[in-house]
Amino acid sequence: MSRSSDKKAKPLWAEIGHSRPVTRRDLLATGVLSFSASLIAPMWLKFLLPQAHAAEGCVTTTSGMIPVVSLNLAGGSAMAANFVPMDQGGQPLPSYDVMGLGDGNVPLEYEFGSVPFAGRVNDVYISKFLQGVRETAPTALAKTSFVGVCVRSRDDSGENRFSINGLVNAAGLSGSLLPNLGTRSNSMTGINQLASVLTPAAPLLVGGFSSIQGALGYAGALGATLNQNQKVALAKSIQKLSESQLRKLASNNISGNVKKLVDCSNQKNLDLSALQNTGVDPRTDAMGASLSSVWGINAGTANTNRDLVFSAMTYNTLKGNAGASAFEIGGYDYHNGTRTTGDAADLTAGRTVGRILETAAIMNRPLFLYVTSDGAVSSIKSNDRNAVWNSDRGIAGAAYVLYFDPAGRRATSNNQIGHFTAGQAAAETTVVGNNPEAAAISVFANYLKLNNKMSVFESIVGRSFNSTKLDEVLRF
């Protein structure tokens, strides 16, 4: 017998000396493992209904949770010198002279209801963050709540456990098409923060808009070789093969539900093969003109343009296509002996936050926005309201929680969690003061409260927070 005919008769596993594959399916077929179509039906329901563009009669499911976007200002932003933290009694600190704001009589401006921000001197904003938000979120502000979290964190570090994405996923937030989205490679959270309590599944890294678009279409070796109709043919073959294999497995006890699901999968197959317009591009949405205007993007915007990336991530998270989104902007380790570098970075942060909120307003969707950093900065000791930043100072750290509700601004019991001390630092005596992970859990608790899902808090977080602690941190 020739070598070639030997090879025809022998599969690779035999050629290389292995035994015949034994699959879990083989065990099922021989009765070694039990099989129950009724038991697996719920699992297959999701498999056959991937929730995208479902056909008539086929269910499209979204998680129903409030969308979550996290923005990380990497490097140690002066967040407590934009939002102005108060003492335990809600009064201004005696001085903010190492926080870049001068003495205790900081001119304040109130936004998001009654939240104090560093106001203006000679009509020039001290808080560039506030300036940026007001520039870019003209309609969203009136329906947005804000809570400042007074929390110390490690300077210039990726080891602060600020991320809540694993927690919100555990609570049920998921995307109908895409997983969580992130902008930082080699990070399970998508940003330079560790996860609090639960590590989320790896996010889809969005280096450019094509990362989102490409996730939904045939690419790889197929992208440049098969034309659209050939891709359709392939998608049909895959779907029909899987359908046939499913029927074989469930042949003796296929339920009406399974049959319906199989029918629905045919529609899904067509969707899969027609992925030219998957509804992930904010520019092609019915509200595309408004969204493009907010972000300053258009059809010709470069693929990796940050505003295009952020707009697409925000859009898909708000739409329910994606799970939680986590953006990161660098350049916040800005203690370079000037105020201008930091002011420019804070203005960018404010504008970005404003655009995210305004996107939610345009789409008429609720949004939970969480802004973090790693550490903070210190100014030279000065009564100047614009003293220069000259060193790291993580003990004066803060995080922000913003909640946009299309129905109107949700009331808060207080606009800060924790407080600052006369020493111009986040008080260590509070639940959140010296522990980013506790701060993240507090933020998550507020998220659950807004979702009316406090009942799952303990099952997700454990018993680290008793009711007393919860009372201390819940603001909604």
Partner 1 sequence: MITIKKLKKPMFVIIVCSATMTLFMNCQGSIDGFSSGSDSNGLTTIQSKIENQNYTIQSSDQLVRSMASVTGVDYASTIINEYNARKALMTNDYSLESVTAPMLVSIANLGSQFCNELIRKEVALTTANRIFFNQIDFTKAVSTVTDAQFNQTLDILGQNFWGRNLTAEEKSILNQGKLEFINAIPTGSSTSAAQTQYLILSTCTGMLAALEFITL
Q: Could you say which residues in the range 169-188 bind partner 1, by CB under 8 A?
A: 175-179
Looking at beta carbons only, is 29 or 302 nearer to partner 1?
A: 29
User: Which one of 47-55, 93-101, 334-342, 448-456 is the stretch in contact with partner 1 (CB under 8 A)?
Assistant: 47-55
| Rounded Cα distance, 71 and 435, in Å | 19
User: Which one of 100-108, 268-276, 328-336, 396-404 is the stretch in contact with partner 1 (CB under 8 A)?
Assistant: 268-276
> In whole angstroms, how large is the CA radius of gyration of the chain?
26
Q: CB of residue 184 vs partner 1: minimum separation in angstroms?
A: 13
Using CB under 8 A as the binding rule, the residues of this chain from 388 to 417 that contact partner 1 are none
Element (H, E) at 368: strand 367-373
| Rounded Cα distance, 433 and 305, in Å | 36
Q: CB of residue 249 vs partner 1: minimum separation in angstroms?
A: 8
291 makes contact with partner 1 (CB under 8 A): no
Q: CB of residue 95 vs partner 1: minimum separation in angstroms?
A: 45
Looking at beta carbons only, is 121 or 234 nearer to partner 1?
A: 234
For the record, the structure tokens of 110 come out as 């109130």
How do 120-121 and 124-125 pair as beta strands? antiparallel
Using CB under 8 A as the binding rule, the residues of this chain from 52 to 91 that contact partner 1 are 52
| Rounded Cα distance, 155 and 395, in Å | 9
241 makes contact with partner 1 (CB under 8 A): yes
For CA atoms 189, 192, 196, 198, the dihedral sign is positive
At residue 404, the 3 state secondary structure works out as: strand
User: Which one of 19-27, 101-109, 388-396, 450-458 is the stretch in contact with partner 1 (CB under 8 A)?
Assistant: 19-27
216 makes contact with partner 1 (CB under 8 A): yes
Query: Phi and psi at residue 112, in whole multiples of 5°?
Result: 55, 40
Site size with partner 1, rule: CB under 8 A = 78
> CA 389, 392, 394, 398: dihedral to nearest 10 degrees?
30
* Among 64, 110, 139, 233, interactor with partner 1 by CB under 8 A: 233
Q: CB of residue 225 vs partner 1: minimum separation in angstroms?
A: 5
For the record, the structure tokens of 236 come out as 């049909």
Looking at beta carbons only, is 126 or 275 nearer to partner 1?
A: 275
214 makes contact with partner 1 (CB under 8 A): yes
Looking at beta carbons only, is 52 or 344 nearer to partner 1?
A: 52
User: Which one of 236-244, 251-259, 302-310, 375-383 is the stretch in contact with partner 1 (CB under 8 A)?
Assistant: 236-244
47 makes contact with partner 1 (CB under 8 A): yes
Using CB under 8 A as the binding rule, the residues of this chain from 294 to 333 that contact partner 1 are none
> CA 309, 311, 313, 319: dihedral to nearest 10 degrees?
-150
Looking at beta carbons only, is 19 or 114 nearer to partner 1?
A: 19
Looking at beta carbons only, is 3 or 463 nearer to partner 1?
A: 3
455 makes contact with partner 1 (CB under 8 A): no
| Rounded Cα distance, 335 and 65, in Å | 39
Annotate 284-338 with DSSP letters as a single string: GSTTHHHHHHHHT--TTS-TT-HHHHHHHHHHHHHHTSSS-EEEEE------SS-
| 148-178: burial string, b at 16+ Cβ within 10 Å, e else | bbbbbbebebbebbbbbbbbbbbbebbbbbb
| Rounded Cα distance, 321 and 333, in Å | 33
Using CB under 8 A as the binding rule, the residues of this chain from 243 to 262 that contact partner 1 are 244-246, 248
Looking at beta carbons only, is 259 or 381 nearer to partner 1?
A: 259
Looking at beta carbons only, is 321 or 378 nearer to partner 1?
A: 321
227 makes contact with partner 1 (CB under 8 A): yes
CA 166 to chain centre: 10
Per the CB < 8 A criterion, the answer to whether 348 and 394 are in contact is no
Q: CB of residue 43 vs partner 1: minimum separation in angstroms?
A: 4
* Among 83, 96, 218, 476, interactor with partner 1 by CB under 8 A: 218
* Among 22, 286, 299, 407, interactor with partner 1 by CB under 8 A: 22
Looking at beta carbons only, is 25 or 381 nearer to partner 1?
A: 25
